[in-house]
A and B are shown apart, each in its own frame.
Chain A
């Protein structure tokens, strides 16, 4: 029975295979193809994330600007195994450089090691892996610069003197604590008239952050400003302030995203806040890859290279300790520029 109809069945399935073939080759042919130049692949934590869409779009422009071929690949969800699969694929494709934002600092190391053995340059940006696993890391900023920028902003907004408080994320968040420590140092040395009265923790939870803001304002009637170095905290605090009697009276700044904060900038609750500019980060990472492919830098401390098209106008960069390249001080968003950003 089966053998009688097998040939016909085979024919039908062969037809399916041909259809699949056409689909595959059709898709394959629109690949730009690395023609010996700069073949640079960006691998964000996941696709469809507005932050990475912003940096990768800017990177595409930069890479194509210096004559390279750019592509962006990545998993739909921010998972380690998804990134490993794509690192493997890029290794098979023998791209020139992989520029990635890591979902895990150590779990990607084996896959990145195989990529580097195959001669691929590995550059991390935004989120690093262990130092041994990549050639260079493009860091958005440094703890000092992040802390100082926020203190400069709040001091300016409260007129150089008064009480301020910090609304942080969780009490044991390493980066938050290092920023707060830097803030205290900077306040002591540069703003003796500004007093940090309390650090409260909103646990990066919207409701907790909202409640802590309310509590701060009732405990310190003379409070002049709040600094919230977390995107969840600053948005919750802004939401509280915008509907309270303190709107426009108590200043608020910190680290936020333009999409979260647009409403509060527009209605005057917040005048300015900071964050690194993801577009600049993408551009600098692209030029880092170029410099590495050109052999201008290897990732050792003291190497220098140049980049173009950054919003700060800086063009010369030096590799720091552990192969870290720092973009610079955080970017300030205010009513004049916020509409240029979507992330």
Chain B
């Protein structure tokens, strides 16, 4: 009777609930949340109309598709992969809803079909990445073109509009009556954010996602089924993108093949600004939500200040680069200081 030693797990050990919550809420996520508040205060005091409920309402409506897709995207990126096909899946879902509606289907059934397409598309991505073993960047650049191609092929340059208003209202009605700030569809996001937040931060599955992103090889040796996990994550991005497509169609009353073209970059930007490491293994849902809100808020603020669309894109680009560079500069600085201190020759920074 031999006793084999427990395999040494590289998986982050389950820490007490309170400690985990604190580590999420302090640190980088807190910084982004503070930024959201700061930009808000600045906007409200310097730009006319920014603090009105209507601004919040439109801001949330605009940012909802980013918020939605950013949830599963966070998990995909934390696991060390990326999904660039999300905006094309959004467009394909939108076209499916439009075409099926045109053929007399009820919207709810058309929307279910679109979600089904999201599952299939996500499964295709997942299969190519995990079973075939191709890099997700290459795979999803391919399916980005594929899904968009099918979407444009189905509908051409046409647009389907005139969706029934009871469904349009689902996407854009205000929760607390006319003139108030909160769109009802935000509830859908809150539910999903809770699900994804708990899944990533408070379950074994979530810890396995981090482990896969930190070191896929060691994770595999410690008994984590990395391919299975990643497969499910791609289904997550697929189906939530399809849901965002249904929302987009109803909110803009427009199903078009080119809906949300280029939108994948907005989602990736929100995830990175939200503090997720593009190399995997680091990041958290609260920070990503704040990242998406920060970008949406900055856009809304700059538009209200009559800044042109091109200049807004430049500002968002700078924000993105800054958010990626800052942690690196800081950790570099920290390391520098620590080394100096331990060698006993600490000098002030300004020399």
- Of B9-17, B51-59, B140-148, B188-196, which binds chain A? B51-59
Interface residue count on the A side (C-beta < 8 Å):
45
Contacting residues of chain A (72-94) with chain B, CB-CB under 8 angstroms: 73-77, 79-81, 84-86, 88-89, 91-94
Least CB distance from B32 to A in Å reads 8
Interface presence of A6 (CB below 8 A): yes
Q: A24-B47, A92-B55, A104-B159 are in contact. Are A110 and B253 (CB under 8 A)?
A: yes
Q: How far is the CA of A85 from the CA of B42 in the complex (A)?
A: 22
- Chain B residues within an 8 Å CB radius of A14: 34, 38
Report A17 CB to chain B, min CB distance, Å: 4
B252, A20: Cβ atoms under 8 Å? no
**Interface size for chain B: under 10, 10 to 19, 20 to 34, or 35 or more residues?**
35 or more
Q: Is the CB of B248 within 8 A of A81?
A: yes
A13 touching B326 by the CB < 8 A rule?
yes
Given known pairs A5-B334, A13-B326, A17-B35, the reply for A93 and B48 (CB within 8 Å) is: yes
Which of A6, A71, A89, A107 meets B27, CB within 8 Å? A6
CB contacts (< 8 Å) of A47 on chain B: these are 308-309
Q: A17-B35, A92-B49, A104-B159 are in contact. Are A23 and B315 (CB under 8 A)?
A: yes
Contact B49 A109 (CB under 8 A): no
Instruction: Tell me whether A86 and B161 are in contact (CB under 8 A).
Output: no
Give Cα A13 to B31, complex, Å.
7
Q: A14-B38, A28-B306, A92-B54 are in contact. Are A21 and B254 (CB under 8 A)?
A: no
Known: A2-B27, A80-B159. A28 touches B47 (CB 8 A): yes
Q: Are A2 and B58 in contact (CB under 8 A)?
A: no
Bound form: Cα–Cα A253–B303 in Å: 43
B207 within 8 A of A: no
Q: Are B172 and A110 in contact (CB under 8 A)?
A: yes
A35 cross-chain contacts in B, Cβ below 8 A:
none
- Contact between chains at A92 and B34 (CB < 8 Å): no
Interface residues as binary, B206-237 with A (CB distance below 8 Å gives 1, 0 otherwise): 00000000000000000000000000000000
Q: B305 near A20 (CB under 8 angstroms)?
A: no
Instruction: Tell me the complex Cα distance, A164–B161, Å.
Output: 40
B135 within 8 A of A: no
Q: How far is the CA of A5 from the CA of B58 in the complex (A)?
A: 37
Take A9-B330, A86-B303, A92-B304 as given contacts and tell me if A25 and B54 are in contact as well, using a CB distance cutoff of 8 Å: no
Question: CB within 8 A of A6: which of B26, B162, B248?
Answer: B26
> Nearest Cβ in chain A — how far from B266, in angstroms?
12
Chain A residues within 8 Å of B334, by CB:
5
Near B by CB (< 8 A), chain A positions 93-107 give 93-94, 104-107
CA distance A137 to B330 in the complex (A): 57
Q: Is A316 an interface residue (CB 8 A)?
A: no
Is A173 an interface position by the 8 A CB rule?
A: no
Q: Mark B314-340, 1 if CB is under 8 A from A, else 0.
A: 010001001000100010001000000
Once A25-B46, A73-B306, A106-B162 are accepted as A-B contacts, the answer to whether A13 and B252 lie under 8 Å apart by CB is no
B residues in contact with A12, CB < 8 Å:
326, 330
Q: Say how far B174's CB is from chain A's closest CB, in angstroms.
A: 11
Specify which chain A residues have a CB less than 8 angstroms from the CB of B38 in the assembled complex.
Answer: 14, 17
Closest Cβ of chain B to A255, distance in Å, is 20
Which 3 A-B pairs have CB atoms at the shortest separation, nearest pair first?
Answer: A28-B305, A107-B254, A17-B38
* Given contact pairs A25-B46, A92-B55, A93-B48, a sample of 16 additional A-B residue pairs in the complex whose CB atoms are under 8 Å apart: A5-B330, A6-B26, A12-B330, A21-B42, A24-B46, A24-B302, A27-B311, A28-B47, A28-B306, A77-B261, A85-B58, A86-B303, A89-B303, A94-B49, A105-B161, A106-B161
Chain A residues in the interface with B (C-beta under 8 A): 2-3, 5-6, 8-10, 12-14, 16-17, 20-21, 23-25, 27-28, 31, 47, 71, 73-77, 79-81, 84-86, 88-89, 91-94, 104-107, 109-110
Q: List 28 A-B contacts (CB under 8 A).
A: A2-B23, A9-B330, A12-B326, A16-B322, A16-B326, A17-B39, A20-B39, A20-B319, A21-B46, A24-B47, A24-B301, A24-B305, A27-B307, A47-B308, A76-B313, A79-B256, A80-B254, A81-B259, A84-B252, A88-B62, A92-B49, A93-B49, A94-B49, A104-B159, A107-B159, A107-B252, A107-B253, A110-B168
